[in-house]
A and B are shown apart, each in its own frame.
Chain A
Amino acid sequence: MTIKIKFFGVLAGIASTNETSFEIPTETNSDAIKEHFESIFTGFKNQQYQLALNQQLLNANSKVGDGDEIAFLPPFAGG
Protein backbone atom coordinates (compact mmCIF):
# COMPACT_ATOMS: atom_id res chain seq x y z
CA MET A 1 0.00 0.00 0.00
CA THR A 2 1.39 3.35 -0.99
CA ILE A 3 0.68 6.55 0.93
CA LYS A 4 1.83 10.00 -0.07
CA ILE A 5 3.55 12.20 2.50
CA LYS A 6 3.82 16.00 2.23
CA PHE A 7 5.94 18.21 4.45
CA PHE A 8 5.42 21.97 4.68
CA GLY A 9 7.40 24.91 6.05
CA VAL A 10 10.04 24.23 8.64
CA LEU A 11 9.24 20.49 8.52
CA ALA A 12 10.16 20.29 4.82
CA GLY A 13 13.50 21.81 5.82
CA ILE A 14 14.08 19.23 8.56
CA ALA A 15 13.09 16.35 6.27
CA SER A 16 15.00 17.86 3.30
CA THR A 17 12.03 17.13 1.03
CA ASN A 18 8.57 18.49 0.24
CA GLU A 19 7.02 15.14 -0.46
CA THR A 20 7.68 11.46 -0.64
CA SER A 21 5.79 8.24 -1.00
CA PHE A 22 5.73 5.66 1.71
CA GLU A 23 5.03 1.93 1.53
CA ILE A 24 3.05 0.39 4.34
CA PRO A 25 2.44 -3.35 4.55
CA THR A 26 -1.13 -2.99 5.81
CA GLU A 27 -3.60 -0.31 6.91
CA THR A 28 -2.26 1.80 9.73
CA ASN A 29 -3.24 4.99 11.51
CA SER A 30 -2.17 8.62 11.60
CA ASP A 31 -0.68 8.37 15.10
CA ALA A 32 1.65 5.59 13.93
CA ILE A 33 2.74 7.65 10.91
CA LYS A 34 3.40 10.68 13.12
CA GLU A 35 5.37 8.60 15.61
CA HIS A 36 7.36 7.01 12.79
CA PHE A 37 8.47 10.33 11.31
CA GLU A 38 9.16 11.87 14.71
CA SER A 39 11.52 8.98 15.43
CA ILE A 40 13.42 9.54 12.17
CA PHE A 41 13.34 13.36 12.12
CA THR A 42 13.70 14.04 15.81
CA GLY A 43 13.47 17.81 15.19
CA PHE A 44 9.76 17.35 14.39
CA LYS A 45 9.04 16.85 18.09
CA ASN A 46 10.01 20.45 18.89
CA GLN A 47 7.73 21.89 16.23
CA GLN A 48 4.08 22.75 16.37
CA TYR A 49 2.22 21.13 13.49
CA GLN A 50 -0.99 19.44 12.49
CA LEU A 51 -1.63 16.39 10.35
CA ALA A 52 -4.02 16.43 7.43
CA LEU A 53 -5.42 13.32 5.79
CA ASN A 54 -6.41 13.78 2.14
CA GLN A 55 -6.38 17.59 2.56
CA GLN A 56 -8.59 17.50 5.68
CA LEU A 57 -7.07 18.51 9.00
CA LEU A 58 -7.13 15.71 11.57
CA ASN A 59 -8.17 16.31 15.15
CA ALA A 60 -8.03 12.66 16.20
CA ASN A 61 -6.24 9.45 15.28
CA SER A 62 -7.53 8.16 11.97
CA LYS A 63 -7.21 5.14 9.70
CA VAL A 64 -4.65 5.45 6.88
CA GLY A 65 -4.58 3.10 3.90
CA ASP A 66 -3.60 2.69 0.27
CA GLY A 67 -3.70 5.89 -1.79
CA ASP A 68 -4.12 8.20 1.19
CA GLU A 69 -2.14 11.42 1.54
CA ILE A 70 -0.79 12.64 4.86
CA ALA A 71 0.39 16.25 5.15
CA PHE A 72 2.52 17.63 7.98
CA LEU A 73 1.43 21.26 8.34
CA PRO A 74 3.12 23.75 10.68
CA PRO A 75 2.06 27.38 11.12
CA PHE A 76 4.26 29.95 9.33
CA ALA A 77 5.41 33.13 11.03
CA GLY A 78 7.00 35.40 8.45
CA GLY A 79 5.39 38.59 7.22
Chain B
Amino acid sequence: MIKASDKERYSRQITLSEVGLSGQKKMFSTSVLVIGAGGLGCPTLLYLVAAGVRNLGIVDFDTIERSNLPRQVIFNESDVGELKAEIARKKILKNESIAKIIAFNVKLDQANAAGILADYDLVIDCTDNFGTRYLINDTCVKLNKCWVYGSVHLHQGQVSVFNWNGGPTYRDLFPESSDKETAPNCNELGVLGAFTGIIGTHMAMEAMKVILEIGTPLSGKIWVYNSLNNQSNVIAFSHGKSNTKVKKPTKKFNLHEINVQEFATFIHSNKAQIVDIRNNWELPQIDNIKHLSIPLDLLEERIAELKKFKSIIFICQKGIRSKKAVEIAERNNLINTMSLAGGIEKYLEHEKEQST
Protein backbone atom coordinates (compact mmCIF):
# COMPACT_ATOMS: atom_id res chain seq x y z
CA MET B 1 0.00 0.00 0.00
CA ILE B 2 1.25 3.47 -0.79
CA LYS B 3 0.06 6.18 1.57
CA ALA B 4 -1.99 9.07 0.17
CA SER B 5 0.70 11.57 1.20
CA ASP B 6 3.30 9.54 -0.75
CA LYS B 7 1.01 9.34 -3.76
CA GLU B 8 0.91 13.11 -3.71
CA ARG B 9 4.61 13.55 -3.04
CA TYR B 10 5.75 11.23 -5.85
CA SER B 11 2.82 11.93 -8.19
CA ARG B 12 4.93 13.38 -11.02
CA GLN B 13 6.98 10.22 -11.35
CA ILE B 14 4.09 7.84 -10.59
CA THR B 15 2.27 9.48 -13.51
CA LEU B 16 4.97 8.20 -15.87
CA SER B 17 3.84 4.99 -17.53
CA GLU B 18 7.30 3.46 -16.91
CA VAL B 19 7.06 4.11 -13.16
CA GLY B 20 3.51 3.92 -11.82
CA LEU B 21 2.70 2.72 -8.32
CA SER B 22 4.62 -0.52 -8.81
CA GLY B 23 7.75 1.42 -9.79
CA GLN B 24 7.40 3.69 -6.79
CA LYS B 25 7.22 0.63 -4.54
CA LYS B 26 10.50 -0.58 -6.09
CA MET B 27 12.09 2.78 -5.19
CA PHE B 28 10.90 2.39 -1.58
CA SER B 29 12.10 -1.18 -1.25
CA THR B 30 15.45 -1.15 -3.08
CA SER B 31 18.53 -0.56 -0.94
CA VAL B 32 21.39 1.41 -2.47
CA LEU B 33 24.96 1.87 -1.30
CA VAL B 34 26.74 5.04 -2.46
CA ILE B 35 30.51 4.82 -2.09
CA GLY B 36 32.08 8.26 -1.99
CA ALA B 37 30.15 11.36 -0.88
CA GLY B 38 32.06 13.83 -3.05
CA GLY B 39 31.40 15.58 -6.34
CA LEU B 40 29.56 12.60 -7.84
CA GLY B 41 28.15 11.18 -4.62
CA CYS B 42 26.35 14.37 -3.57
CA PRO B 43 24.09 14.74 -6.64
CA THR B 44 23.56 10.97 -6.80
CA LEU B 45 22.42 10.84 -3.17
CA LEU B 46 20.20 13.91 -3.44
CA TYR B 47 18.30 12.61 -6.47
CA LEU B 48 17.96 9.05 -5.20
CA VAL B 49 16.52 10.07 -1.83
CA ALA B 50 14.29 12.66 -3.47
CA ALA B 51 12.91 9.95 -5.77
CA GLY B 52 11.97 7.79 -2.79
CA VAL B 53 14.96 5.52 -2.25
CA ARG B 54 14.59 5.08 1.50
CA ASN B 55 17.27 2.55 2.31
CA LEU B 56 20.67 4.08 1.69
CA GLY B 57 24.24 3.47 2.82
CA ILE B 58 26.92 6.13 2.45
CA VAL B 59 30.60 5.17 2.59
CA ASP B 60 33.18 7.92 3.04
CA PHE B 61 36.05 8.26 5.51
CA ASP B 62 36.88 11.83 4.57
CA THR B 63 36.07 15.15 6.20
CA ILE B 64 34.61 18.18 4.45
CA GLU B 65 37.08 20.76 3.19
CA ARG B 66 36.31 24.32 2.13
CA SER B 67 37.48 23.47 -1.42
CA ASN B 68 34.76 20.77 -1.60
CA LEU B 69 31.88 23.25 -1.36
CA PRO B 70 31.63 24.32 -5.04
CA ARG B 71 30.82 20.78 -6.19
CA GLN B 72 29.80 18.79 -3.11
CA VAL B 73 26.52 20.60 -2.89
CA ILE B 74 25.03 18.77 0.11
CA PHE B 75 27.52 20.52 2.38
CA ASN B 76 27.56 24.08 3.75
CA GLU B 77 30.22 26.37 5.23
CA SER B 78 29.35 25.29 8.76
CA ASP B 79 30.09 21.63 7.86
CA VAL B 80 33.78 22.17 7.10
CA GLY B 81 35.85 19.75 9.16
CA GLU B 82 32.96 17.33 9.79
CA LEU B 83 32.68 13.77 8.44
CA LYS B 84 31.19 13.67 4.92
CA ALA B 85 29.16 10.47 5.35
CA GLU B 86 27.69 11.65 8.65
CA ILE B 87 26.73 15.13 7.42
CA ALA B 88 25.33 13.70 4.17
CA ARG B 89 23.18 11.33 6.24
CA LYS B 90 21.84 14.18 8.38
CA LYS B 91 21.13 16.41 5.37
CA ILE B 92 19.25 13.84 3.33
CA LEU B 93 17.22 12.81 6.35
CA LYS B 94 15.83 16.34 6.19
CA ASN B 95 14.47 15.48 2.75
CA GLU B 96 13.03 12.13 3.81
CA SER B 97 12.76 11.76 7.57
CA ILE B 98 11.68 8.12 7.54
CA ALA B 99 14.60 6.99 5.38
CA LYS B 100 16.95 4.38 6.82
CA ILE B 101 20.39 5.78 6.20
CA ILE B 102 23.63 4.32 7.49
CA ALA B 103 26.83 6.36 7.41
CA PHE B 104 29.95 4.19 7.12
CA ASN B 105 32.74 6.52 8.20
CA VAL B 106 35.42 4.15 6.93
CA LYS B 107 37.67 3.63 3.95
CA LEU B 108 36.42 0.70 1.90
CA ASP B 109 39.08 -2.03 1.97
CA GLN B 110 39.57 -5.75 1.39
CA ALA B 111 38.59 -6.53 4.98
CA ASN B 112 35.30 -4.62 5.17
CA ALA B 113 34.07 -4.48 1.56
CA ALA B 114 32.04 -7.69 1.42
CA GLY B 115 30.42 -7.01 4.78
CA ILE B 116 29.32 -3.50 3.83
CA LEU B 117 28.16 -4.31 0.30
CA ALA B 118 26.29 -7.50 1.28
CA ASP B 119 23.25 -5.67 2.69
CA TYR B 120 22.55 -3.56 -0.42
CA ASP B 121 20.76 -4.38 -3.66
CA LEU B 122 22.62 -1.87 -5.81
CA VAL B 123 26.06 -0.24 -5.47
CA ILE B 124 27.10 3.15 -6.87
CA ASP B 125 30.77 3.98 -7.25
CA CYS B 126 31.42 7.69 -6.71
CA THR B 127 35.06 7.24 -5.69
CA ASP B 128 38.13 8.89 -7.15
CA ASN B 129 40.71 6.11 -7.33
CA PHE B 130 41.36 2.87 -9.20
CA GLY B 131 42.20 0.74 -6.16
CA THR B 132 38.74 1.19 -4.64
CA ARG B 133 37.10 0.82 -8.07
CA TYR B 134 38.63 -2.61 -8.69
CA LEU B 135 37.71 -3.61 -5.13
CA ILE B 136 34.09 -2.55 -5.72
CA ASN B 137 34.05 -4.46 -9.02
CA ASP B 138 35.49 -7.66 -7.59
CA THR B 139 33.24 -7.56 -4.51
CA CYS B 140 30.13 -6.95 -6.63
CA VAL B 141 31.07 -9.83 -8.94
CA LYS B 142 31.60 -12.09 -5.93
CA LEU B 143 28.28 -11.05 -4.34
CA ASN B 144 26.48 -11.00 -7.71
CA LYS B 145 25.49 -7.32 -7.42
CA CYS B 146 25.05 -4.73 -10.13
CA TRP B 147 26.98 -1.47 -9.77
CA VAL B 148 26.84 1.93 -11.43
CA TYR B 149 30.12 3.60 -12.35
CA GLY B 150 30.93 7.22 -13.03
CA SER B 151 34.11 9.24 -13.18
CA VAL B 152 35.37 12.54 -14.54
CA HIS B 153 38.51 13.94 -16.13
CA LEU B 154 38.48 17.74 -16.48
CA HIS B 155 35.41 18.41 -18.67
CA GLN B 156 34.88 14.78 -19.71
CA GLY B 157 32.91 12.16 -17.85
CA GLN B 158 32.23 8.42 -18.13
CA VAL B 159 29.23 6.45 -16.92
CA SER B 160 28.55 2.71 -17.18
CA VAL B 161 26.62 -0.08 -15.45
CA PHE B 162 28.53 -3.24 -14.59
CA ASN B 163 27.57 -6.80 -13.72
CA TRP B 164 23.93 -6.12 -14.62
CA ASN B 165 22.06 -9.38 -15.22
CA GLY B 166 25.34 -11.16 -15.94
CA GLY B 167 26.63 -8.32 -18.14
CA PRO B 168 30.30 -7.33 -18.48
CA THR B 169 32.30 -5.92 -15.58
CA TYR B 170 34.82 -3.11 -15.15
CA ARG B 171 37.65 -5.56 -15.77
CA ASP B 172 36.18 -6.37 -19.20
CA LEU B 173 36.48 -2.68 -20.02
CA PHE B 174 39.76 -1.86 -18.30
CA PRO B 175 41.83 -4.84 -17.18
CA GLU B 176 44.09 -3.81 -14.29
CA SER B 177 47.57 -2.74 -15.37
CA SER B 178 49.85 -1.77 -12.55
CA ASP B 179 52.73 -0.61 -14.77
CA LYS B 180 50.83 2.40 -16.09
CA GLU B 181 50.51 5.87 -14.60
CA THR B 182 47.45 6.35 -12.44
CA ALA B 183 45.03 8.88 -13.86
CA PRO B 184 44.90 12.16 -11.97
CA ASN B 185 41.79 13.07 -9.91
CA CYS B 186 39.80 16.29 -9.44
CA ASN B 187 41.95 17.53 -6.57
CA GLU B 188 44.97 17.52 -8.86
CA LEU B 189 43.32 18.66 -12.11
CA GLY B 190 40.45 20.86 -11.07
CA VAL B 191 36.80 20.49 -12.09
CA LEU B 192 33.63 22.56 -12.45
CA GLY B 193 30.95 21.62 -9.91
CA ALA B 194 28.10 21.75 -12.43
CA PHE B 195 29.92 19.09 -14.42
CA THR B 196 30.21 16.56 -11.58
CA GLY B 197 26.53 17.43 -11.09
CA ILE B 198 25.75 16.28 -14.65
CA ILE B 199 27.70 13.04 -14.32
CA GLY B 200 26.42 12.28 -10.80
CA THR B 201 22.85 12.94 -11.91
CA HIS B 202 23.34 10.68 -14.91
CA MET B 203 24.53 7.97 -12.51
CA ALA B 204 21.39 8.44 -10.42
CA MET B 205 19.33 8.10 -13.62
CA GLU B 206 21.07 4.84 -14.56
CA ALA B 207 20.53 3.59 -11.00
CA MET B 208 16.80 4.38 -11.29
CA LYS B 209 16.59 2.51 -14.62
CA VAL B 210 18.11 -0.53 -12.91
CA ILE B 211 15.77 -0.20 -9.89
CA LEU B 212 12.67 0.33 -12.04
CA GLU B 213 13.75 -2.22 -14.67
CA ILE B 214 13.01 0.24 -17.46
CA GLY B 215 14.81 1.36 -20.61
CA THR B 216 18.27 0.12 -21.49
CA PRO B 217 20.86 0.64 -18.77
CA LEU B 218 24.45 1.31 -19.89
CA SER B 219 25.39 -2.35 -19.47
CA GLY B 220 28.14 -3.37 -21.90
CA LYS B 221 28.36 0.27 -22.92
CA ILE B 222 30.27 3.25 -21.62
CA TRP B 223 28.92 6.77 -22.14
CA VAL B 224 31.64 9.37 -22.57
CA TYR B 225 30.53 12.99 -22.46
CA ASN B 226 32.49 16.16 -23.14
CA SER B 227 30.80 19.22 -21.65
CA LEU B 228 32.92 21.72 -23.59
CA ASN B 229 31.79 20.59 -27.04
CA ASN B 230 28.63 18.69 -25.98
CA GLN B 231 29.82 15.53 -27.69
CA SER B 232 28.52 12.21 -26.45
CA ASN B 233 30.03 8.88 -27.40
CA VAL B 234 28.72 5.46 -26.42
CA ILE B 235 31.30 2.71 -26.78
CA ALA B 236 30.19 -0.91 -26.55
CA PHE B 237 32.20 -3.70 -24.96
CA SER B 238 31.63 -7.32 -24.04
CA HIS B 239 32.94 -10.09 -21.83
CA GLY B 240 36.68 -10.56 -22.34
CA LYS B 241 38.22 -11.64 -25.61
CA SER B 242 36.04 -14.54 -26.60
CA ASN B 243 32.88 -12.62 -27.43
CA THR B 244 34.34 -9.72 -29.36
CA LYS B 245 33.78 -9.79 -33.09
CA VAL B 246 36.97 -8.66 -34.75
CA LYS B 247 37.52 -7.92 -38.41
CA LYS B 248 40.44 -10.06 -39.50
CA PRO B 249 43.50 -7.83 -39.48
CA THR B 250 45.47 -7.22 -42.62
CA LYS B 251 49.22 -7.61 -42.55
CA LYS B 252 51.02 -4.94 -40.64
CA PHE B 253 51.37 -1.88 -42.77
CA ASN B 254 53.85 0.94 -42.81
CA LEU B 255 51.81 4.07 -42.24
CA HIS B 256 54.73 6.27 -43.16
CA GLU B 257 55.47 5.25 -46.72
CA ILE B 258 53.26 5.11 -49.79
CA ASN B 259 53.90 3.67 -53.25
CA VAL B 260 53.47 5.46 -56.57
CA GLN B 261 49.98 4.05 -57.21
CA GLU B 262 48.81 5.27 -53.81
CA PHE B 263 50.50 8.61 -54.47
CA ALA B 264 48.55 8.92 -57.74
CA THR B 265 45.32 8.33 -55.80
CA PHE B 266 46.25 11.04 -53.33
CA ILE B 267 46.96 13.55 -56.13
CA HIS B 268 43.57 12.76 -57.57
CA SER B 269 41.67 12.93 -54.24
CA ASN B 270 43.39 16.08 -52.99
CA LYS B 271 43.27 14.65 -49.44
CA ALA B 272 46.88 15.34 -48.55
CA GLN B 273 49.22 18.29 -48.97
CA ILE B 274 52.23 17.38 -51.11
CA VAL B 275 55.52 18.93 -50.01
CA ASP B 276 58.59 18.76 -52.25
CA ILE B 277 61.63 18.81 -49.96
CA ARG B 278 64.24 18.97 -52.71
CA ASN B 279 66.35 22.08 -53.26
CA ASN B 280 64.81 24.45 -55.78
CA TRP B 281 67.47 23.81 -58.41
CA GLU B 282 66.81 20.07 -58.56
CA LEU B 283 65.15 18.67 -61.67
CA PRO B 284 62.71 17.62 -62.89
CA GLN B 285 60.27 20.26 -61.76
CA ILE B 286 56.81 18.95 -60.98
CA ASP B 287 54.67 21.93 -61.97
CA ASN B 288 51.74 19.71 -62.95
CA ILE B 289 51.32 18.53 -59.32
CA LYS B 290 49.97 21.00 -56.77
CA HIS B 291 52.60 21.20 -54.06
CA LEU B 292 54.61 23.30 -51.64
CA SER B 293 58.38 23.53 -51.74
CA ILE B 294 60.32 23.45 -48.48
CA PRO B 295 63.92 22.23 -48.76
CA LEU B 296 64.75 19.55 -46.16
CA ASP B 297 67.37 21.78 -44.49
CA LEU B 298 64.69 24.36 -43.74
CA LEU B 299 61.93 21.94 -42.75
CA GLU B 300 62.43 22.12 -39.00
CA GLU B 301 62.38 25.92 -38.87
CA ARG B 302 59.41 26.18 -41.26
CA ILE B 303 57.42 23.34 -39.66
CA ALA B 304 54.78 25.77 -38.36
CA GLU B 305 53.68 26.36 -41.97
CA LEU B 306 52.64 22.71 -42.16
CA LYS B 307 50.61 22.51 -38.95
CA LYS B 308 47.46 23.60 -40.77
CA PHE B 309 47.49 20.50 -42.99
CA LYS B 310 45.99 17.30 -41.59
CA SER B 311 47.84 14.99 -43.96
CA ILE B 312 51.14 15.58 -45.72
CA ILE B 313 53.11 13.61 -48.29
CA PHE B 314 56.80 14.45 -48.52
CA ILE B 315 58.47 13.81 -51.84
CA CYS B 316 62.10 13.98 -53.00
CA GLN B 317 64.17 12.58 -55.86
CA LYS B 318 64.46 8.95 -54.73
CA GLY B 319 62.44 8.65 -51.54
CA ILE B 320 65.34 8.73 -49.10
CA ARG B 321 65.31 12.34 -47.87
CA SER B 322 61.50 12.27 -47.66
CA LYS B 323 61.78 9.55 -44.98
CA LYS B 324 63.92 11.95 -42.93
CA ALA B 325 61.27 14.62 -43.47
CA VAL B 326 58.67 12.27 -41.92
CA GLU B 327 60.92 11.79 -38.88
CA ILE B 328 61.34 15.55 -38.46
CA ALA B 329 57.62 16.19 -38.86
CA GLU B 330 56.64 13.51 -36.32
CA ARG B 331 59.15 14.86 -33.86
CA ASN B 332 57.19 18.10 -34.18
CA ASN B 333 53.86 16.36 -33.51
CA LEU B 334 52.54 16.28 -37.07
CA ILE B 335 50.57 13.08 -36.83
CA ASN B 336 49.84 12.16 -40.43
CA THR B 337 52.89 12.45 -42.67
CA MET B 338 53.98 10.05 -45.39
CA SER B 339 56.92 9.61 -47.69
CA LEU B 340 56.71 8.65 -51.38
CA ALA B 341 58.76 5.46 -51.83
CA GLY B 342 61.07 5.70 -54.84
CA GLY B 343 60.54 9.45 -55.05
CA ILE B 344 59.66 11.58 -58.05
CA GLU B 345 61.82 9.46 -60.35
CA LYS B 346 59.76 6.34 -59.65
CA TYR B 347 56.49 8.27 -59.95
CA LEU B 348 57.40 9.73 -63.35
CA GLU B 349 58.39 6.25 -64.56
CA HIS B 350 55.03 4.97 -63.42
CA GLU B 351 53.23 7.81 -65.21
CA LYS B 352 55.12 7.06 -68.42
CA GLU B 353 54.18 3.37 -68.21
CA GLN B 354 50.55 4.29 -67.65
CA SER B 355 50.43 6.55 -70.71
CA THR B 356 52.03 4.05 -73.10
Question: Residues of A with Cβ closer than 8 Å to B?
Answer: 2, 5-6, 8-10, 12-13, 15-16, 18, 20-33, 36-37, 39-41, 46-48, 50, 52-53, 55-63, 71, 73-79
Contact = CB atoms under 8 A, between A and B. Distances in A.
A7 to B, nearest CB: 10
Interface of B: 36, 38-41, 125-130, 150-154, 156-158, 173-174, 177, 180-186, 189, 191, 196, 222, 224, 226, 229, 231, 233-238, 240-241, 244-256, 258-259, 262, 265-266, 271-272, 310-311, 330, 333, 335-336, 338
Chain B interface, DSSP helix/strand/loop, else mixed: loop
B311 A22 contact: yes
A60 B241 contact: yes
Task: Give 7 nearest A-B pairs by CB, closest first.
Answer: A57-B237, A25-B262, A23-B311, A76-B151, A29-B249, A77-B183, A79-B128
9 contacts: A23-B266, A23-B338, A29-B253, A48-B174, A60-B241, A63-B248, A77-B128, A78-B185, A79-B196
Secondary structure type dominating chain A contacts: mixed
Given A55-B236, A73-B224, A29 B184 contact: no
A30 B153 CA distance: 25
A9 B153 contact: yes
Contacts of A37: 335
A29 B64 CA distance: 49
Contacts of B222: 73
A58 B236 CA distance: 9
A12 B72 CA distance: 27
Q: Which of A36, A47, A59 has the most CB of B within 10 A?
A: A59
Contacts of A79: 36, 38-41, 125-128, 150-152, 185-186, 196
A21 to B, nearest CB: 6
Contacts of B256: 36
Contacts of A78: 39, 128, 151-153, 183-186, 189, 191, 196
